[in-house]
């Protein structure tokens, strides 16, 4: 029996493993979790020059086999063949940052000590050259006893040579197995220094660009100003740049609905397609452009190395509420989606710190809430400008995001003094080198995220929308009676309404909250479906959900609905991830309870204050 051979990328964080992984496997990637732990497993297929496919694993970056985080523990176990559901890789591809040899050779020695078939990818050799380093791969190969291939993942340099070396690695194994390893850490460090010196042919005294750029971006007061400006631009862009694409999508969907109406006779099947499927799923899909733009900003910040600087800048503020700059990265990711955000908390080594971050992650406004905000804002906030280039709608959106952040900070402060009490956490991290993000890596990242969103639209949202349509459409109304009043959904909303009426919600809103538990963005499709089903005549039904809200909701009601969504518990998937990450129902229940309480209180406050102000 021939088993497919496997290889694994191993190396320090920031060695450029992910870029190399993308370059080697292209879009043939599968992202999942390692069994039983919540460490992301990235696997792809590499095609050797012989045409033989090899399963390539991108293992989490590690500084040492003496693991200080769950990520590092996974790498250690997989490489040692101790991870139950993973076979040890046949070939190890050890990725070293060419400009950071002395540092990366410390862990490299630990990997080489294993005596497994290994190939070294001397990565980012172009950045080393930019820094004025000239390296001798052959000298390095002689010192390490394994092939060394200079690579520039982002420019596909050295990939063919690397593939060839991977193909030959197993037959070469044992050729040169240095027996002088098995050293202590100080000895290893000394050896690393020695080997690195031997591999560096020349070193000009040129300063790295990091120094200059960091002097600006980490400047004591300019740094935070730049960070804040960047985040502000990000949220303005989400609104402004997406508009033409959203309009085009809406136009296409409208045309599709008209086509269906023309092709099918009036009746339930046609209503199902236009009012149920197209009105519901369509109203969510139109937000794809905004989600892509938001993710593009986050991916660029991550790939360029700026995200770690943001963590540095935010550390002191986060320390003020008992967290560290490390929490900033998961929390910023939560703006896109709380699920990867909560999963990213794995990089936080302090357990109480991590738990607190998980509990407040849902307060970061995720992209799924964006459709809800966008529809309501477009409906009730005038599209005027309040200054050069600053739209009022964008400003309100920004305020909603700020409300979530402030809420999260206050909640963190309270949690750290009560349920997650403990010693203040530390902050130690490497600030990676700056790099120009590569378009292909960005495209792969956006494709993966966009696909996840569309899949949700095609599955969870599709099912929730149809279920809601059925609840809304049956039993059929008697002539003269409103369909909403007659339906099952109307009865459910009536039951919920007494709780939500005090905070200004109308019945359609109470109704929309039920399916929104499956996924936030369903609230919009639910409103769209509700209004489409309830429309007395075709003309009213043809209006978009935005126009309906503008016509039917008062401003205090709309603002209360927005406030509700700032705080209300997120989708079921988030709760499921929180359960998995905290190993039990205790913390997810705490999370749901406090979020519902906050949502009700703040929706109420917003409604009462707005009403009192006569808005």
Residues in touch with other proteins (CB under 8 A) = 63-64, 66, 68-69, 99-100, 102-103, 106-107, 131, 185-186, 189, 208, 210-211, 214-215, 218-221, 223-224, 308, 311-313, 315-317, 319-320, 325, 349-350, 423, 426-431
- Could you give phi then psi for residue 50, rounded to 5 degrees? -75, -5
Give the list of residues 6+ apart from residue 81 with CB closer than 8 angstroms, or none.
87, 88
- Rank residues 209 and 399 by Cβ distance to other proteins and give the closer one: 209
Give least dist CB 569 to other proteins, A.
Answer: 32
CA gap 411, 403 in Å, rounded: 12
> Which helix or strand (DSSP H or E) is residue 30 part of?
strand 29-33
Distance of closest approach, residue 67 Cβ to other proteins, in angstroms = 8
Query: Phi and psi dihedrals of 9, rounded to 5?
Result: -85, 125
Nearest CB to other proteins, comparing residues 174 and 186 = 186
Task: Return the number of other C-beta atoms located less than 10 Å from residue 141's C-beta.
Answer: 17
- Whichever of 432 and 556 has its CB closer to other proteins, that residue is 432
- To other proteins, the closest distance from the beta carbon of 106 in angstroms equals 7
Which residue, 571, 567, 561, 563, is CA-closest to 509? Answer: 561
Least spacing, CB of residue 220 vs other proteins, in Å: 4
Q: What is residue 342's three-state secondary structure?
A: helix
Cα angle 499, 505, 509; round to 5 = 105
Beta strands 133-135 and 200-203 are antiparallel
Report in angstroms how near the CB of residue 349 gets to other proteins at its nearest. 5
Least separation in angstroms between residue 306's CB and other proteins is 13
Compute the least distance from the CB of residue 315 to other proteins, in Å.
5
Looking at beta carbons only, is 225 or 572 nearer to other proteins? 225
Q: How far apart are CA 22 and CA 31, in angstroms?
A: 12
By C-beta, is 102 or 170 nearer to other proteins?
102
Of 392, 344, 336, nearest to 38 (Cα)? 344
Yes or no: say if 346 and 69 are a contact pair by the CB < 8 Å rule.
yes
The Cα 257–Cα 454 span in angstroms is 19
Cα–Cα distance for residue pair 93/96, rounded to 1 Å:
10
Please, which residues have CB within 8 angstroms of residue 308's CB and are 6 or more apart in sequence?
329, 429, 430, 431, 432
571 touches 520 (CB < 8 A)? yes
Residue 353 Cβ, how far from other proteins at the closest point, in Å?
11
What is the CB-side half-sphere exposure of residue 131 using CA atoms within 13 A? 20
Residue 68 or 615 having the CB closest to other proteins: 68
In whole angstroms, the minimum distance from the beta carbon of 101 to other proteins comes to 8
With respect to other proteins, which residue has the nearer C-beta, 46 or 227?
227
Alpha carbon separation from 351 to 235, 327, 416, 422 (Å, rounded)? 32, 12, 12, 10
200 vs 361 by CB, closer to other proteins? 200
Nearest distance, CB of residue 199 and other proteins, angstroms? 14
399 or 424: CB nearest other proteins: 424
Could you tell me the smallest distance in angstroms from the CB atom of residue 425 to other proteins? 9
Shortest distance, position 240 Cβ to other proteins, whole Å = 31
What's the closest the beta carbon of residue 196 comes to other proteins, in angstroms?
9
**Which is closer to other proteins, CB of 163 or CB of 425?**
425
Identify the burial level of 126 via C-beta atoms within 10 angstroms of its C-beta, where 0-12 means exposed, 13-18 middle and 19 or more buried: middle
Closer residue to other proteins, CB minimum distance, 352 or 369: 352
563/555 Cα distance (integer angstroms): 12
76 close to 62: Cβ distance less than 8 angstroms: yes
Residue (147 or 223) nearer to other proteins, CB: 223
Say how far apart CA 472 and CA 272 lie, in whole Å.
11
Using an 8 Å Cβ cutoff, are 98 and 70 in contact? no
Classify 45 as helix, strand or coil: strand
Nearest to 467 by CA among 519, 544, 539, 543: 519
For the four alpha carbons of 191, 194, 196 and 199, in that order, the dihedral sign comes to negative
Nearer Cβ to other proteins (280/322): 322
């Amino acid at each position: 029996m021939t088993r497919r051979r496997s290889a694994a990328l191993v190396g320090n964080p920031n060695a450029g493993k992910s870029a190399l992984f993308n370059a080697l496997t292209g879009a043939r990637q599968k992202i999942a979790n390692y069994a039983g732990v919540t460490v992301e497993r990235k696997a792809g297929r590499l095609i050797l020059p012989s045409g033989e496919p090899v399963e390539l694993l991108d293992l989490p970056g590690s500084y040492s086999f003496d693991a200080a985080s769950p990520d590092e523990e996974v790498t250690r176990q997989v490489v040692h063949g101790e991870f139950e559901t993973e076979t040890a890789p046949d070939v190890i591809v050890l990725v070293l940052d060419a400009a950071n040899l002395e540092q990366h050779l410390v862990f490299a020695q630990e990997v080489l000590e294993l005596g497994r078939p290994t190939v070294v990818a001397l990565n980012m050799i172009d950045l080393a050259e930019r820094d004025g380093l000239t390296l001798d791969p052959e000298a390095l190969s002689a010192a390490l006893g394994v092939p060394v291939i200079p690579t520039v993942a982002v420019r596909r340099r050295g990939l063919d040579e690397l593939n060839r070396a991977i193909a030959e690695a197993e037959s070469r194994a044992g050729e040169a197995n240095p027996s002088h390893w098995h050293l202590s850490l100080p000895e290893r460090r000394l050896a690393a220094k020695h080997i690195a010196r031997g591999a560096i042919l020349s070193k000009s005294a040129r300063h790295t660009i990091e120094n200059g750029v960091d002097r600006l971006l980490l400047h004591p007061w300019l740094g935070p100003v730049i960070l804040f400006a960047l985040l502000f631009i990000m949220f303005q862009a989400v609104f402004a740049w997406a508009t033409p694409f959203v309009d085009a999508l809406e136009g296409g969907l409208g045309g599709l609905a008209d086509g269906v109406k023309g092709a099918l006779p009036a009746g339930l099947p046609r209503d199902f397609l236009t009012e149920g499927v197209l009105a519901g799923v369509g109203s969510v899909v139109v937000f794809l452009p905004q989600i892509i733009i938001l993710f593009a900003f986050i991916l660029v910040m991550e790939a360029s190395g700026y995200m770690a600087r943001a963590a540095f800048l935010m550390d002191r503020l986060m320390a003020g509420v008992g967290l560290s700059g490390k929490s900033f990265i998961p929390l910023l990711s939560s703006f896109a989606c709380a699920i990867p955000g909560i999963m990213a908390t794995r990089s936080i080594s302090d357990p109480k710190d991590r738990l607190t971050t998980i509990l407040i992650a849902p307060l970061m406004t995720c992209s799924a809430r964006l459709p809800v905000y966008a529809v309501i804002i477009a409906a009730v906030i005038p599209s005027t400008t309040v200054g050069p280039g600053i739209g009022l709608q964008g400003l309100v959106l920004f305020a909603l995001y700020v409300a979530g952040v402030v809420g999260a900070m206050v909640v963190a402060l309270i949690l750290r003094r009560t349920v997650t009490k403990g010693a203040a956490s530390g902050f130690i991290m490497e600030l990676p080198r700056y790099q120009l993000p590569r378009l292909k890596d960005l495209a792969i990242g956006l494709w993966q995220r966009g696909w996840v969103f569309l899949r949700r639209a095609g599955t969870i949202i599709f099912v929730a929308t149809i279920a809601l349509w059925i609840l809304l459409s049956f039993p059929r109304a008697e002539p003269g009676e409103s369909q909403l009043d007659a339906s099952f959904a109307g009865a459910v909303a009536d039951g919920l309404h007494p709780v939500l009426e005090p905070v200004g919600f109308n019945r359609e809103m109470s109704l929309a909250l039920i399916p929104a538990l499956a996924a936030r963005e369903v609230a919009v499709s639910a409103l769209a479906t509700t209004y489409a089903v309830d429309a007395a005549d075709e003309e009213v039904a043809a209006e978009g959900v935005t126009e309906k809200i503008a016509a039917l909701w008062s401003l205090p009601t709309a603002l209360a609905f927005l406030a509700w969504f700032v705080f209300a518990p997120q989708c079921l998937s988030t709760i499921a991830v929180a359960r998995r990450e905290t190993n039990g129902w205790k913390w997810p229940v705490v999370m749901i309870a406090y979020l519902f309480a906050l949502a009700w209180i703040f929706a109420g406050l917003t409604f009462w204050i707005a009403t009192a102000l006569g808005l």
